[in-house]
């Protein structure tokens, strides 16, 4: 905010002068659109433990492993000894740390199945943490071959491929955290009472899309520019 003070003083001095249009236009243009980012399977190379994407850093608890089921590719993690590789089980995680706070627009997961499919003994449940608070998380729990519940603060769940054998168990959560700006996401799985192994409730990440929250300074510049243009319009109307 300190860096904006000289600019705002200049705008106040220019009020009523013939230089107002010169100041107002660049200030209005300063309100640049928010930056969108997408993380997909291809961004997380197999057998690596992290990926720096510029707007975000993604880390695995061990190494990333890719897997394809029913034509759908997802990315999980593996330490070489887990029951099912290429998925995120109850002892593993994928963590995304954003450079700037983000509004998460959409998360797509796969290989999350209904009890009795692919040897699972539970309705698989994915957990996504969105902050340091232990209670800041949402669970995506399969309830039928084509339905699931989401416990996060926002979100609309859509089944993209059935959660049964010979299918990909693919799910999309739109606007999962509402208008909450997040700095970090952690993907892990929920160990349920009926779980026999850590592989019950495992799944894979397909994609994340988000939009960077505008910085306060940028928003203020944009507002100042609009005020300047409004003042210019009033002056012209009186002339």
Look at residue 119 in the predicted model and tell me its pLDDT.
85
* Residues 159, 233 within the same domain: no
In the chain, which residues have pLDDT < 70? 1-34, 82-83, 193-200, 216-239
**CA torsion 101→103→105→111, rounded to 10°?**
60
Look at residue 79 in the predicted model and tell me its pLDDT.
78
* Residues 20, 122 within the same domain: no
Domain that holds residue 92: 36-212
* Residues 113, 226 within the same domain: no
Look at residue 36 in the predicted model and tell me its pLDDT.
82
Look at residue 25 in the predicted model and tell me its pLDDT.
41
How far CA 92 is from CA of 65, 79, 102, 104, 188, in Å, comes to: 12, 9, 24, 22, 6
* Residues 134, 221 within the same domain: no
* Residues 229, 189 within the same domain: no
Look at residue 74 in the predicted model and tell me its pLDDT.
98
* Residues 150, 96 within the same domain: yes
* Residues 125, 95 within the same domain: yes
How far CA 177 is from CA of 80, 150, 153, in Å, comes to: 33, 10, 5
For the record, the structure tokens of 185 come out as 């996401």
Among 210, 211, 112, smallest CA distance to 157 is for: 112
Cα within 13 Å of Cα(220), Cβ side: 11
Domain count along the chain: 2
Among 81, 167, 160, smallest CA distance to 118 is for: 167
Look at residue 69 in the predicted model and tell me its pLDDT.
97
* Residues 64, 139 within the same domain: yes
Q: pLDDT tens for residues 161-194?
A: 999 999 999 999 999 999 999 999 999 999 876 6
CA distance 125 to 65: 20
CATH number at residue 77: 2.60.120
* Residues 25, 98 within the same domain: no
* Residues 146, 74 within the same domain: yes
Look at residue 199 in the predicted model and tell me its pLDDT.
58
* Residues 149, 222 within the same domain: no
pTM of the model: 0.78
* Residues 139, 234 within the same domain: no
């Amino acid at each position: 905010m300190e860096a904006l003070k000289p600019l705002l003083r200049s705008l106040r001095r220019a009020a009523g002068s013939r230089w107002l249009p010169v100041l107002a236009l660049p200030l209005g243009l300063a309100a640049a659109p928010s930056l969108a980012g997408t993380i997909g399977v291809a961004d997380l190379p197999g057998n690596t433990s992290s990926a720096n994407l510029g707007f975000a850093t993604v880390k695995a608890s061990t190494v990333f492993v890719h897997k394809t089921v029913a034509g759908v590719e997802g990315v999980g993690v593996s330490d070489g000894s887990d029951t099912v590789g290429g998925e995120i089980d109850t002892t593993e995680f994928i963590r995304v740390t954003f450079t700037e706070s983000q509004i998460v627009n959409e998360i797509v997961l796969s290989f999350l199945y209904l009890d009795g499919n692919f040897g699972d003994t539970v309705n698989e449940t994915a957990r996504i943490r969105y902050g340091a608070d232990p209670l800041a998380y949402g669970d995506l729990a399969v309830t039928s071959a084509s339905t699931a519940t989401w416990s996060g603060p926002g979100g609309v769940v859509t089944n993209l491929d059935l959660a049964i054998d010979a299918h990909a168990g693919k799910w999309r959560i739109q606007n999962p955290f509402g208008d909450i700006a997040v700095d970090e996401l952690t993907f892990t799985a929920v160990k349920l009472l009926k779980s026999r192994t850590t592989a019950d409730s495992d799944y894979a990440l397909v994609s994340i899309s988000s939009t960077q929250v505008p910085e306060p300074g940028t928003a203020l510049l944009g507002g100042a520019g609009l005020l300047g243009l409004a003042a210019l319009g009033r002056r012209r109307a009186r002339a």
